[in-house]
Amino acid sequence: MSDTLLPLLKKLLSLSGLSAYEAPVREVIAEAWQPLVDELSVSRLGSLHGLRRGQGAEPRRRILLAAHMDAIGMMTTQVVDGLLRFTEIGGIDPRILPGQPVIVHGRRELPGYVVQPADRLLPKALRGKPVPMSHLLVDVGLPADEVAELVRPGDLISFAQPPIELGETVLAGHSQDNRASVTAVTACLQELQHMRHAWDVWAVATAQEEETLGGGFTSPFEIRPDLCVAIDVTFARGPGVSSDQRTFPLGKGVTLGWGPNIHPALFEAFQTLAKQQDIPFHLEVMPRHSGTDAYATQIVAEGIPSIVIGIPLRYMHTPVELVSLKDIRRAGHLLAEFIATLQPDFMNEITWDKANE
């Protein structure tokens, strides 16, 4: 089954689907999930909901797996002399932009490049320094009159870097954050085909995480699960990043988040299971905002016990984000094994002070 994961991930990494405009990637995820779930729907904000019913007696408890599908990118702010000025959607370091291939989603899709004007064309104070986004341009290789007809402010600009295989297990591409996790949820659904599980499973590809956590707030409200698992990427060790507790080796295991966004009893349950199953993992401390959908899911309605599973990723928020397929498979496997252990009375164990009792 898992040999379908690499082609799926490569396809997901070849699509746009910027925050609030997720349709291109949503359609492909829906196609991948169709045979694995009982029902598919799309929320009012654009999240994809896949329901896989459990085998327990009704009313069944529900677990929600949230992996955001939206990507960072850019939006046109001005068309001037055939070139485009732009702003960001999601957080982008402008220093990675000059020379990036992009697609401008105008009246038709236009391939182009982000370009850095030569120093002679920049204000004196900026010469020799990193060029801020306000002074970068996009060139689509067309004459000014044609560009004026085809592009207008508000047109999206997505990264066009195709995925690159670095060896057999590592893939580089844009929007690995967080389509690596969408792939992990897919792996989980595949494994569940061959497992018994009492609970209903709601696989959710959330929308708008990079800007507002919009899907992370609204999908749990609509679904009202008993538990939420946010699956997102985390920082892998690599050049320019210190080897402190905030970074993790690439391809050497997933992370389990620990902090205020995470229910300690749920953490305990996952940790125990991962040890039993010999699934390599690292503790990831999240002292404040977890930086994931769990920040939202935890405070939906009357509150939902939540946890974060992290997949280490190198060079986050660049078009060459590196993720190991090994970690994607591990995350999917851990999720499936956890779901299989869930009994109808599991919620009795989920009390905040359980550890102290």
How many C-beta atoms surround the C-beta of residue 255 within 10 A?
23
- Applying CB under 8 A, which of residues 30, 42, 51, 170 lies at the interface with another protein? 170
Angle at 316 between CA 235 and CA 175, to 5 degrees: 125
Q: Which helix (H) or strand (E) holds 308?
A: strand 306-314
- Applying CB under 8 A, which of residues 40, 241, 299, 350 lies at the interface with another protein? 241
**String of b and e for 154-172 (b: at least 16 CB within 10 Å)?**
ebbbbbbbebeeeeebbbb
Q: Are 217 and 294 in contact (CB under 8 A)?
A: no
> Contact between 26 and another protein (CB under 8 A)?
no
> Contact between 148 and another protein (CB under 8 A)?
no
Alpha-carbon torsion, ordered 300, 225, 32, 29, to 10 deg: -10
**β-bridge pairing 227-235 and 306-314:** parallel
- Name the segment binding another protein (CB under 8 A); options: 4-12, 33-41, 243-251, 349-357: 243-251
- Name the segment binding another protein (CB under 8 A); options: 21-29, 221-229, 315-323, 348-356: 315-323
> Contact between 166 and another protein (CB under 8 A)?
yes
Contact flags string 271-300 toward another protein, x per CB under 8 A: --------------------x---------
Question: Shortest Cβ distance from residue 133 to another protein (Å)?
Answer: 9
- Applying CB under 8 A, which of residues 118, 287, 302, 345 lies at the interface with another protein? 118
Q: Are 33 and 258 in contact (CB under 8 A)?
A: no
> Contact between 169 and another protein (CB under 8 A)?
yes
Which residue in 176, 28, 15 sits closest to 103, CA to CA? 15
> Contact between 93 and another protein (CB under 8 A)?
yes
Residues interacting with another protein, by CB under 8 A? 80-81, 83, 91-101, 110-113, 115-118, 120-123, 128-131, 134-135, 137, 139-143, 146, 161, 164-167, 169-170, 172, 235, 238-241, 246, 250-251, 291, 314-320, 322, 324
